[in-house]
Structure 1
């Protein structure tokens, strides 16, 4: 898991010409008799794929990409219909040993088409919207998420992906196809940012294995959430509301965790959020701790920090390191990694900014 790309897909478009000798076959509105089914050979990156939300592989098990949506638009403008919706969009599902099957065939002409791919998708919801520049699909990003404290992948938020012709994380190189160019390489890129929180006891703090179970972490700041759209050309998210103060809450659904010992931080919370640009607004962090099996004695610790001012880039993972003292928390640093980098991989360590 030391590469930035999430999933690479090799698409082979096999053309069988059923009718020859046609004239003006590239004229607008002309549909050639050749049907061109997409037959996918799938190469996946290595890595964990044990859950439903944060995906890193393709396949049939839960937590892997088992289906993708594909649609075609005119490459000349990137958004106009290449053919009728039924003839230019399809759902691919995987079975067996990386065998992908289309729900219906699409047709390629000599005219260049822009190919869009996205996840998640299902047969009942393949509709894309022409916004005058690209195609978009609807997404939902709630401000409250739940997670399983026993791993770093099983959270309630869907991991939205979009297609690119490049394996570089966050890239948006266009994918073009036509009758004579039918073997593009497609990489599925993460459109969201992953946050991970770790916590360890501060020097001198006596561990408490009864009352220090982490229940949730909340961030109040200039974030975005709610109903929105995903642009299929570059993964940009758009929301109906602007980035006003929004509280992002990550609550444990099961398996709460205790802080780690000094020098060995324990992962206690994580989630998927909308990317954001750099800001100058401080963020309020609230940490709820208590007994493992009851909320009767829960307590909330609060801290204000500017460590969240940096950009959150799509396809990147940000690990915020917290220190727990007797009655307060502090933010130690943040590590920035690629989505699939393991803890021993390269990262950028950003300490708190004082002042």
Structure 2
């Protein structure tokens, strides 16, 4: 059974003891219990003995706790995620599993849902002896989660863009610059009415990609038209709704730039349903370059994130944080190179085709 399989929410049934139960039994804080479980040698002998006795008395995760208390050297890392689509999660897991295998580390993963931190998340991570976590977007901006992880003494590395006020080390691309370059490419082709589909509002990447779109329009003296900006949620269904809204405008866009490939693929589907030729009548571009970009027709022009490099570096950084046993004094955002991948879903606007025929 993995960490994401079952969460018991019915408190009327008998439940397993948690780290908070151990803390109350031993008369210490749950942070102290975490430090004991993770083998922190700075804990006083009497305190350690009291916590270990409470763990044994309550039968708190005996197998996992025993492995942690035995001082096992194998690093334990967890991926925490809130992916709105399974494709992105699958790619992360494949890449991180490869990194964990090379490092002879133990990797687990857990979905974190909702805006309030479920205490069972921390209980589970501590019980499993997790020493470091990799946060998938947008969890690097989850204040309560980051605070709880820090209090538990875990190394933290966020992937993707963050709002920057958390002081968490992160790895990703320059979302704003990438979106600006893609929009600029469409402008160079002659498009002036470019629709934009935003991502989930809580993701920092959604904010930066929208800013990049606006930057490119302003640089070309093209007015930013609010009716050409539709709200999406980084999933296929929201992409369909956003594309329907844009294509139903009195003067519809000649191009749609969606904040991820799932929403761009949805826009292609909506265009097909409406009898709109892609790319002769409508150009559509995405973001991320997931496997979906090359499995639909026409194949998507998109922004490529170096997922393999990103996850490998994130794993190395979290292992370094575990070995260092203290947070970086100056956490920073490591920026990796992106790439504009030109495929079949884009071209000049329809009036350009007409001009070439005259």
| TM-score computed with the length of structure 2 as normaliser | 0.26
Whichever structure has more strand as a proportion of its residues is: 1
